[in-house]
Amino acid sequence: MNRCRWMLTSLLFISAWLAASAGALAAGPKPWQMNFQEAATPVMEDIISFHNLLLVIEILIVLFVLGLMLVIIIKFNSKANPVPSKTTHNTLLEVVWTVVPIAILMVIAVPSMKLLFFMDKAKNPEMTLKITGHQWFWTYQYPDNGDFEFDSNIVDEEDLPKGGKRLLEVDERVVLPVNTEIRLLMTSDDVIHNWAVPSFGVKMDTVPGRTNESWIKVTKTGTFYGQCSELCGVNHGFMPIRVDVVTKAEFAKWAAAAKVKYAGIQTPPKTAASATAKAIKVAQAAARMPGAHVLKR
Amino acid sequence: MSDTAHAGTDGGHDHSPTGWRRWAYSTNHKDIGTLYLAIAVIAAVVGGAMSAMIRLELTQPGIQFIEDFQFYNMLVTAHGFVMVFFVVMPALIGGFGNWFVPLMIGTPDMAFPRMNNVSFWLLAAALVLLVASTFIAGGVGTGWTVYPPLSNADFHPGMAVDFGILSLHLAGASSILGAINLITTILNMRAPGMTLHRMPLFVWAMLITAFLLLMAIPVLAGALTMLLTDRNFGTAFFSPEGGGDPIFWQHLFWFFGHPEVYIMVIPAFGVISHIISTFSKKPIFGYLGMAYAMSAIGFVGFIVWAHHMYTVGFNVETRSYFVIATMVIAVPTGVKIFSWLATMWGGSIDFKTPMLYAMGFIFLFVAGGVTGITLANAGVDQAFHDTYFVVAHFHYVLSVATVFAIYGGIYYWLGKMSGRQYSEVQGRWQFWITFIGVNVLFFPQHFLGMAGMPRRIPDYPDAYAGWNMVSSIGGLITMLGAFMFLWILYRTLTAGAPAEDNPWGEGATTLEWTVPSPAPFHTHEVLPDTSDLQAAE
């Protein structure tokens, strides 16, 4: 309860600040960015606040060591200190520099575990989104909203709409409702991919033969981007993720239309990006060794 | 290297082969050490050229010159393999280990001189196979982790991955033989009076590293063999269609892969301990703590492997165990860092080039180490996994810190190995250029990772352009430093001033400084009595 209130307050602040600066959130990386992308889920907010704690501790450690080294350089160079001491032991000191790091680690471990168990699985999911990775595009399935599915491919550079983000825009976007606890189920039908959206704090491998689970509850409407985060072959860098988060009413409308639009449609897998990639696939297929077992794809 | 006999040698063993036979058939620990160092330098040029191509491609958004993305993936993969297996390990273990373990413990040679020769030539053959793999069927484009299914016959149908597997098999066999040799030598052939607790820390480091190799490499060999039969003989260890599991590979790979990072860095710890003690003119602070901290790091290194796999879909309890176990490593690491600082404290320090590299090592290892604590926490790792933050982290602790130990070690021991001393002015310039270069190269990658840029992509969204440009400029500066190093090496070997037996003075107390420079072909033929060595109280 406390955590909820605390989160709500921080949310209020953030949303007030956002409202002042812009309307809906258009996430994604910014030029010369040095920090996380803006958080849009409780999980990502917790990641950022825990990382702030880590960052402070780590900067202090580095500055401490750097400070000691500066003192050593100034006081114990051969000019300033021609006769070296012969001290090689100090039990108290050795105990201190063993125990203090343990204490620091314990300070880190408690919030770390809290975050880990909080982010693990959805408690009361209201809907499910099923994500399947392919070389090199994503398939999204909405089992609770009419069980339609569609493929999402990268938009090539020459087809980019004005203002579109290169390497991040897709032809068919994922649309999801705001403030809804959504279970994500992920798998792959070829190699291992990884579905990641930085603003959501989600990053999960899609592994053939396994179904992995994660969850999101997006608290802001807007557009969010991600990229495949596990090396998956030639076009690994060219299978982006775009999620449009809309109000629940808008989502209901979209889902109804999508059910009709995508009903029974199985888009044939498209090879994205370059012609070189295609050439390689052909060359590889030609070089395929007899006797090697072949997946059905 | 001259064959001049030194005191106590009656020339009885001095009719050594000459010409190419001296090197090809060598059973001499110094010559084999030199061969290892030479292969490391050659491989470093190859691996460095690959990283230069990667950085040039990433200088600006869009495709610069690598239009074949399989080629890009091959570069990323081969850069990793070359640097890990053919630069860092040969330089630190094969090179410095062969040269200085016998010299430091006061024995004439390694326990198994012929096996030593086999170790080296297996490694050379492995390098040939790896380089060959880059020219076959588009090369190995799987990353150095070789995760199936991407690495199986469906997605890498050509022979490239098979060449890569055989290359790693040979490199692994080479490492196992080398490890057996080191363990036997260190445990059985120490000079009279040199108990385990009086052994120099570099020898401790090599002993621990050898045990890590002996236990980790066979696991990799098993995994590679399974992958080989999956690819060629229809088994399905790693494919779900036949009841296998791709995650099984990841467990085996990282059970080897995590100890592997300590295999690379523990020898570096040993080198740094010697340099710091020498130039501070003080014995090492907390000797026993240092030795057992390395042992503890080696042991814990075997039970933390799954922190490389936080996003594969483990249950939360598994992840929480690996978080805690991983963070434990920070404690012995802290002991080492603070003991080095305490060794310098109260010292009378000469800031010669090796010492600059040792201090650079400490700073970089701490900076890379604290980001390791960040990544150890599975919660925040969900934001960082597979981003440039990870690239920055492991390049700080491996590429930069470990390579600093190699640079520092070469400057430290070059006089002993070649009989010629480098120019101090040039060495210092080379240090500062490299130090600035690597920081400009890798520090901005933390920012890229936080902003979400994934690893191993040949092109990136335009927003990441700024820091990538900075990083590439850092890459050019680092390369300038590397070229300068090669030039210094060349100048020293051809025209350096003659080195004294002990150029570093009172601080250099280990046995290698008691033999002439360059160290003669055979040393310690009369075993030195080390019972007056300062015991570790």
Q: Phi-psi bin for B193: left (phi > 0), alpha (psi -120 to 50), beta?
A: left
* Least confident piece of the model among A289-293, B286-290, B398-402, B528-532: A289-293
Q: Any catalytic annotation for residue B174?
A: yes
Count of other CB atoms within 10 angstroms of residue A197: 27
- At A211, the amino acid letter reads T
Q: Do B383 and A51 touch (CB under 8 A)?
A: yes
Identify the residue whose tokens are 């075993």: B527
* Half-sphere exposure for B285 (CA within 13 Å, toward CB): 24
| Spatial distance between the Cα atoms of B181 and B110, rounded to a whole number of angstroms | 7
Per-residue pLDDT band at B399 (split at 50, 70, 90)? confident
Chain A residue numbers touching B457 (CB-CB < 8 A)? 227, 236-237
Contacts of B432 (CB under 8 A, 6+ apart): B356
Q: Which one of A62, A234, A295 has the shortest CB-CB distance to B241?
A: A295
- At A225, the amino acid letter reads Y
**pLDDT higher than threshold 80 for residue B88:** yes
Among candidate residues B57, B109, B162, B230, the one labeled active-site is B109
Helices (H) and strands (E) in chain A, counts: 5, 11
Partnered with residue A186 across adjacent β-strands are: A131, A212
Q: Is the peptide bond before A198 cis (omega within 30 degrees of 0)?
A: no
Q: Give tens-digit pLDDT for B16-45.
A: 788 899 999 999 999 999 999 999 999 999
CA nearest B335: which of B275, B394, B376, B294? B294
Burial of B283 (0-12, 13-18, 19+ CB in 10 A): middle
| Spatial distance between the Cα atoms of B516 and B394, rounded to a whole number of angstroms | 39
Contacts of A276 (CB under 8 A, 6+ apart): B67, B68, B69
Angle at CA A186, nearest 5°, toward A180 and A187? 165
Contacts of B427 (CB under 8 A, 6+ apart): B352, B353, B411, B488
Give the tokens for residue A118.
């909080």
Q: Which of B331, B340, B352, B445 to mutate to test the interface with A (most CBs of A within 10 A)?
A: B331
Q: Do B377 and A237 touch (CB under 8 A)?
A: no
CA nearest B431: which of B358, B498, B502, B495? B358
pLDDT (0 to 100) of residue A63: 97
Chain A residue numbers touching B352 (CB-CB < 8 A)? none
* CB-based contact A97:B338 (threshold 8 Å): yes
Chain A residue numbers touching B231 (CB-CB < 8 A)? 292
* CB-based contact B507:B277 (threshold 8 Å): yes
Q: Any catalytic annotation for residue B156?
A: no
In this prediction, residues A37-65 reach a mean pLDDT of 97
Per-residue pLDDT band at B4 (split at 50, 70, 90)? very low
> Nearest-CA residue of chain A relative to B244?
A209
> Phi, psi (5° rounding) for residue B306?
-75, 0
Give the tokens for residue B208.
């621990």
* CB-based contact A88:B285 (threshold 8 Å): yes
CA nearest A209: which of A228, A227, A188? A188
pLDDT (0 to 100) of residue B125: 97
pLDDT (0 to 100) of residue B16: 74
Q: Is the peptide bond before B454 cis (omega within 30 degrees of 0)?
A: no
pLDDT over 90 percentage in chain B: 93
CA B104 → CA B189, B310, B360, distances in Å?
A: 11, 42, 25
Q: Residue B284: helix, strand or coil by DSSP?
A: coil
- Chain centre distance of CA B406: 8
Structural domains for chain A: 2-82+89-120 (1.10.287.90), 127-263 (2.60.40.420)
CA A261 → CA A149, A173, B149, B185, distances in Å?
A: 10, 13, 34, 74
Chain B residue numbers touching A89 (CB-CB < 8 A)? 285-286, 537
Count of other CB atoms within 10 angstroms of residue B197: 12
**pLDDT higher than threshold 70 for residue B389:** yes
CA nearest A116: which of B313, B314, B304, B377? B377
CA nearest A151: which of A168, A127, A134, A126? A134
Q: Phi-psi bin for B67: left (phi > 0), alpha (psi -120 to 50), beta?
A: alpha
Q: Give tens-digit pLDDT for B99-138.
A: 999 999 999 999 999 999 999 999 999 999 999 999 999 9
Per-residue pLDDT band at A277 (split at 50, 70, 90)? very low
CA nearest B290: which of B260, B228, B321, B332? B332
* CB-based contact B296:B266 (threshold 8 Å): no
pLDDT (0 to 100) of residue A265: 53
Q: Any catalytic annotation for residue B79?
A: yes
* Half-sphere exposure for B17 (CA within 13 Å, toward CB): 11
Burial of A128 (0-12, 13-18, 19+ CB in 10 A): middle
DSSP state for residue B92 in the 8-state scheme:
I
In this prediction, residues B304-329 reach a mean pLDDT of 96
Per-residue pLDDT band at B15 (split at 50, 70, 90)? low
CA nearest B347: which of B282, B289, B397? B282
Among candidate residues B26, B34, B133, B175, the one labeled active-site is B175
Q: Any catalytic annotation for residue B258?
A: yes
Per-residue pLDDT band at A9 (split at 50, 70, 90)? low
Sequential DSSP letters for A204-254:
EEE-BT--EEEEE---S-EEEEEE--S--STTGGG-EEEEEEE-HHHHHHH
Asked whether the ipTM of the predicted complex exceeds the cut of 0.95, the reply is: no
Give the tokens for residue B459.
């092109």
**pLDDT higher than threshold 50 for residue B5:** no
| Spatial distance between the Cα atoms of A198 and A203, rounded to a whole number of angstroms | 8
- At A25, the amino acid letter reads L
Count of other CB atoms within 10 angstroms of residue B302: 16
Among candidate residues B55, B336, B395, B446, the one labeled active-site is B336
* CB-based contact B449:B390 (threshold 8 Å): yes
| Spatial distance between the Cα atoms of B406 and A208, rounded to a whole number of angstroms | 42
Per-residue pLDDT band at A10 (split at 50, 70, 90)? low
pLDDT over 70 percentage in chain A: 80
Q: Any catalytic annotation for residue B336?
A: yes
**pLDDT higher than threshold 50 for residue A294:** no
Q: Is the peptide bond before A136 cis (omega within 30 degrees of 0)?
A: yes
* Least confident piece of the model among B414-418, B433-437, B468-472, B532-536: B532-536
Q: How many residues does chain B have?
A: 537
| Spatial distance between the Cα atoms of B138 and B73, rounded to a whole number of angstroms | 9
Q: Do A292 and B157 touch (CB under 8 A)?
A: yes
Chain A residue numbers touching B312 (CB-CB < 8 A)? 205, 207, 212
Q: Give tens-digit pLDDT for B210-220.
A: 999 999 999 99
Q: Any catalytic annotation for residue B307?
A: yes
- At B377, the amino acid letter reads N
Residue with the bigger pLDDT between B393 and A3: it is B393
DSSP state for residue A36 in the 8-state scheme:
P
Q: Which one of A55, A105, A285 has the shortest CB-CB distance to B327?
A: A105
Q: Give tens-digit pLDDT for B180-236.
A: 999 999 999 999 999 999 999 999 999 999 999 999 999 999 999 999 999 999 999
> Nearest-CA residue of chain A relative to B154?
A294
**pLDDT higher than threshold 60 for residue A5:** no
**pLDDT higher than threshold 90 for residue A24:** no
Q: Do A34 and B138 touch (CB under 8 A)?
A: no
Per-residue pLDDT band at B288 (split at 50, 70, 90)? very high
Q: Any catalytic annotation for residue B262?
A: yes
pLDDT (0 to 100) of residue A169: 95
* CB-based contact A184:A241 (threshold 8 Å): no
* Torsion angle defined by CA atoms of residues B330, B336, B342 and B347, in that order, rounded to the nearest 10 degrees: -150
pLDDT (0 to 100) of residue B271: 98
Q: Give tens-digit pLDDT for A78-121.
A: 999 999 998 899 999 999 999 999 999 999 999 999 999 999 99
Q: Give tens-digit pLDDT for A167-217.
A: 999 999 999 999 999 999 999 999 999 999 999 999 999 999 999 999 999
Q: Do B380 and A84 touch (CB under 8 A)?
A: no
- At B227, the amino acid letter reads L
In this prediction, residues B69-74 reach a mean pLDDT of 96
- Chain centre distance of CA A187: 16
Break chain A down into helix, strand, coil percent, rounded to 5. 40, 20, 40
Q: Do A54 and B374 touch (CB under 8 A)?
A: yes
Q: Do A283 and B138 touch (CB under 8 A)?
A: yes
**pLDDT higher than threshold 60 for residue A287:** no
Q: Give tens-digit pLDDT for B423-442.
A: 999 999 999 999 999 999 99
Chain A residue numbers touching B68 (CB-CB < 8 A)? 276, 280
Average pLDDT, rounded, for chain A = 85
Among candidate residues B31, B162, B260, B512, the one labeled active-site is B260
In this prediction, residues B463-490 reach a mean pLDDT of 97
- At B444, the amino acid letter reads P
| Spatial distance between the Cα atoms of B106 and B479, rounded to a whole number of angstroms | 38
Q: Do A115 and B379 touch (CB under 8 A)?
A: yes
Identify the residue whose tokens are 């990353």: B143
Count Cβ–Cβ pairs < 8 Å, chain A vs chain B: 338
- Termini Cα distance of chain B: 38
CA nearest B503: which of B513, B518, B515? B513
Segment 448-507 of chain B within 8 Å of chain A by CB:
450-467, 507
Per-residue pLDDT band at A28 (split at 50, 70, 90)? confident
Angle at CA B465, nearest 5°, toward B459 and B468? 85
Give the tokens for residue B355.
């010492």
pTM of structure: 0.90
Chain A residue numbers touching B451 (CB-CB < 8 A)? 29-30, 33-37, 198
Q: Residue A177: helix, strand or coil by DSSP?
A: strand
| Spatial distance between the Cα atoms of B174 and B123, rounded to a whole number of angstroms | 6
Give the tokens for residue A50.
């825990």
* Least confident piece of the model among A2-6, A71-75, A207-211, B51-55: A2-6
**pLDDT higher than threshold 90 for residue B335:** yes
**pLDDT higher than threshold 50 for residue B509:** yes
